C-alpha cells in the first residue's frame, strides 16, 4: 500500500514550470505582436472602417494594449493549466484504483457461489490462478486471469489509453478458439514472444501454450509488481486445472452492490478496495497545489478587469474628442461601437485565448511527470478541462462586449466642451 507520507512532496519545478513556460511563451508572442502592428496598420487602410479604427488605436496605444494582452494571457494560462492538471489527477486516481480492482467493486466468491441475478447485467466472473509461471527464455512468475469475454465488457473498467485496440476487439481475439492448442492471451507487464509456455502450479504443474494476440499497457485487475495474463476461461476447461479463486467484478455503486450480494445470501469477501491503491492524501497534496494555482489565476483575472477599467479611463479624453471629431466626418455610432469592441477584443480576448492555448500546451508537456503513485497503472491520464476552457473563452468575449458597451455609453453622456474645460 502506498503511504501518503512518502509521496506528498511536490517538486518545486512543478510549480515554476507553468509560470516560466507561460511567461516565456507570452513574451515571445508579445514581441511578434508588436512587430506585426506596423504592417497591420499599413495594410488596414483599405479595410472596413471599424477594423481600421481599431487597429489604429491598438497601434497608437501599443504599450498599454500589449500589457493587457500579456496580463490576460498569463491569468488565463495559469488557470487553464491548473484546472487541467487537477482534472487529470482526479481521472488518474480513479483509473489507477479501478484498474487495480478491475471494476467499481471486486469480491471473492465462496466455492459454488454465483453472482445473483439482480447483479448479472453489470457483473462478470473472473477465475484467478495466483501461482503460475511463463517461460519466455526464462521463467517468470505471473498471475493468470480466466475471463468471460461475453460479460467482461459490461462490468470491467476500461480506458482507451490502455491499448491501441478497443476492449471489444481484444475480447473478440480472446474469445477465438485455440489454434494448434495455443490459447489466445493478452499479457500485461511482461515482454513475451508471440508464443510462450505457461504453467499453473497445483499439486503438480499444468502446462499449456499461449498465443499473444495483443499488447496492452494496462488491463483491468492487473496486479502491482506482477505480470498478469488474461485468457478466456472456457479455453482452460479441458486442461484439468485446479479450482481457481473466483472473483465477481461489479460495476456501479459499491454500497449498493455489496448490499445486493448480502440480500441474495451470497457468501463473499471483498478482496480489494480503493484505499488499498493509494492513500488519498498522496493526491490531495498535489491537488491542493494546483488548487492554489487556480486561485492565483482567478486573482490575476480580477486584476485584468481592473486593468481594462484603467485602460479605458486613461483614454477617456482622447476617445471622446476623437469620436466627436469623427462624428462630424460622418462616423456612425454603430461603426464606433464595432471599433471599440474590436479594440478590446484585440487585448482581452486575444490575450485570454492565447494564454489558454499556452496553458493547455504546458499541461500536455507536464502531466506525464506528475504521478504521486507511479507503482500503479495506468500512467497519468490527460483530461483537458474543456468546460472551463470554453467558459473562460466565452467570458473573455462577454467582458470585452460589456466593456465596449459601458465605454460607448459613457462617451455618449460626456460633453466634449466640459471635458476640454475640466482637462480630463
Q: Where are the domains of the chain?
A: 4-99+279-422, 111-266
pLDDT for 309-364, tens place per residue? Answer: 777 666 665 666 566 556 666 667 677 678 888 888 888 888 999 999 999 998 89
Higher local confidence (pLDDT), 415 or 372 = 372
Whether the model clears a pTM of 0.85, i.e. scores above it, the answer is no
User: Using 50, 70 and 90 to split pLDDT, how confident is the model at 261?
Assistant: very high
In this predicted structure, what is the pLDDT of residue 11? 58
In this predicted structure, what is the pLDDT of residue 242? 78
In this predicted structure, what is the pLDDT of residue 46? 83
In this predicted structure, what is the pLDDT of residue 6? 47
pLDDT at residue 9 greater than cutoff 60: no
For 251-286, b/e burial (b = at least 16 CB within 10 A) is bbebeebbebbeeeebebeeebebeebbbeebbbeb
pLDDT for 119-160, tens place per residue? Answer: 999 999 999 998 888 887 778 888 999 999 999 999 999 999
Q: Average pLDDT in the 153-173 region?
A: 92
Distance CA 412, CA 93 (A): 56
Distance CA 330, CA 346 (A): 25
CA distances in angstroms from 12 to 16, 38, 89, 179, listed in the order given? 6, 41, 18, 55
Q: Average pLDDT in the 278-297 region?
A: 66
Q: Average pLDDT in the 391-405 region?
A: 87
Are 22 and 300 in contact, with CB atoms under 8 Å apart?
no
Instruction: Please name the helix (run of DSSP H) or strand (run of DSSP E) that holds residue 246, with its range, or none.
Output: strand 245-250
SS3 content of the chain, % helix, strand, coil (to 5): 60, 15, 25
In this predicted structure, what is the pLDDT of residue 184? 93
Residues in contact with 388: Cβ distance below 8 Å, sequence separation at least 6, in sequence order: 79, 80, 83, 84
pLDDT for 47-81, tens place per residue? Answer: 888 888 888 888 888 888 888 889 889 889 988 98
Q: Average pLDDT in the 374-400 region?
A: 88
Angle of CA points 56, 57, 60, to nearest 5°: 85
Q: How many CB atoms lie within 10 A of CB 343?
A: 27
List 228's β-bridge partners, or say none: 143, 188
Instruction: Please name the helix (run of DSSP H) or strand (run of DSSP E) that holds residue 195, with its range, or none.
Output: strand 195-201
In this predicted structure, what is the pLDDT of residue 64? 85
DSSP 31: H
pLDDT at residue 1 greater than cutoff 50: no
Backbone angles phi, psi at 147, to 5 degrees: -110, 165
In this predicted structure, what is the pLDDT of residue 3? 42
Are 160 and 378 in contact, with CB atoms under 8 Å apart?
no
* All cell numbers assigned to 374: 507511479
* All cell numbers assigned to 328: 462630424
In this predicted structure, what is the pLDDT of residue 356? 92
Instruction: Please name the helix (run of DSSP H) or strand (run of DSSP E) that holds residue 289, with its range, or none.
Output: helix 280-314
Strand 182-188 relative to strand 245-250: parallel, antiparallel, unpaired? unpaired
pLDDT at residue 302 greater than cutoff 50: yes
In this predicted structure, what is the pLDDT of residue 219? 93
Classify 385 as helix, strand or coil.
coil
CA nearest 247: which of 153, 150, 156? 156
CA torsion, points 110, 111, 117, 122, in degrees to nearest 10?
70
Are 347 and 68 in contact, with CB atoms under 8 Å apart?
yes
* All cell numbers assigned to 6: 512518502
Q: Average pLDDT in the 200-209 region?
A: 78
37-46, 72-81, 213-222, 349-358 — which is least confidently predicted?
Answer: 37-46
Is 16 exposed, middle or buried (CB count within 10 Å of its CB: 0-12, 13-18, 19+)?
exposed
What is the rounded average pLDDT for all residues in the chain?
82
Amino acid at each position: 500500500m502506498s503511504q501518503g507520507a512518502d509521496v506528498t512532496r511536490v517538486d518545486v519545478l512543478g510549480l515554476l514550470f507553468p509560470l516560466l513556460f507561460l511567461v516565456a511563451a507570452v513574451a515571445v508572442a508579445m514581441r511578434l505582436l508588436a512587430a506585426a502592428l506596423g504592417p497591420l496598420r499599413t495594410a488596414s487602410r483599405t479595410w472596413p472602417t471599424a477594423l481600421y479604427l481599431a487597429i489604429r488605436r491598438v497601434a497608437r496605444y501599443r504599450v498599454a494594449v500589449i500589457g493587457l494582452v500579456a496580463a490576460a494571457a498569463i491569468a488565463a494560462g495559469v488557470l487553464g493549466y491548473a484546472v487541467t492538471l487537477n482534472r487529470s489527477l482526479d481521472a488518474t486516481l480513479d483509473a489507477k484504483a479501478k484498474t487495480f480492482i478491475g471494476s467499481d467493486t471486486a469480491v471473492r466468491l465462496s466455492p459454488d457461489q454465483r453472482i445473483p441475478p439482480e447483479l448479472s447485467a453489470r457483473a462478470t466472473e473472473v477465475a484467478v490462478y495466483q501461482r503460475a509461471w511463463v517461460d519466455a527464455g526464462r521463467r517468470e512468475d505471473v498471475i493468470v486471469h480466466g475471463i468471460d469475454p461475453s460479460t467482461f465488457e459490461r462490468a470491467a473498467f476500461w480506458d482507451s489509453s490502455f491499448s491501441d485496440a478497443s476492449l471489444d476487439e481484444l475480447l473478440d481475439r480472446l474469445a477465438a478458439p485455440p489454434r494448434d492448442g495455443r490459447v489466445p492471451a493478452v499479457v500485461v507487464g511482461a515482454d513475451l514472444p508471440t508464443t510462450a509456455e505457461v504453467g499453473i502450479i497445483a499439486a503438480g504443474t499444468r502446462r499449456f501454450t499461449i498465443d499473444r494476440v495483443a499488447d496492452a499497457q494496462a488491463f483491468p485487475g492487473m496486479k502491482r509488481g506482477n505480470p498478469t495474463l488474461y485468457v478466456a476461461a472456457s479455453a482452460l476447461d479441458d486442461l484439468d486445472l485446479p479450482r481457481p479463486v473466483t472473483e465477481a467484478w461489479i460495476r456501479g455503486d459499491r454500497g449498493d452492490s455489496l448490499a445486493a450480494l448480502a440480500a441474495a445470501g451470497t457468501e463473499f469477501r471483498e478482496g480489494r478496495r480503493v484505499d488499498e491503491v493509494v492513500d488519498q492524501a498522496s493526491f490531495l497534496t498535489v491537488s491542493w497545489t494546483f488548487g492554489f494555482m487556480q486561485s492565483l489565476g482567478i486573482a490575476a483575472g480580477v486584476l485584468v478587469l481592473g486593468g481594462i477599467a484603467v485602460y479605458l479611463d486613461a483614454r477617456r479624453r482622447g476617445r471622446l474628442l476623437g469620436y466627436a471629431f469623427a462624428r462630424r466626418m460622418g462616423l456612425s455610432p454603430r461603426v464606433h461601437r464595432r471599433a471599440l469592441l474590436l479594440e478590446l477584443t484585440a487585448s482581452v480576448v486575444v490575450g485570454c485565448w492565447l494564454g489558454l492555448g499556452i496553458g493547455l500546451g504546458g499541461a500536455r508537456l507536464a502531466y506525464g511527470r506528475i504521478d504521486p503513485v507511479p507503482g500503479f497503472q495506468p500512467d497519468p491520464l490527460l483530461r483537458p478541462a474543456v468546460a472551463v476552457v470554453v467558459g473562460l473563452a466565452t467570458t473573455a468575449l462577454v467582458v470585452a462586449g460589456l466593456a465596449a458597451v459601458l465605454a460607448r455609453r459613457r462617451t455618449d453622456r460626456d460633453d466634449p466642451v466640459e471635458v476640454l474645460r475640466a482637462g480630463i
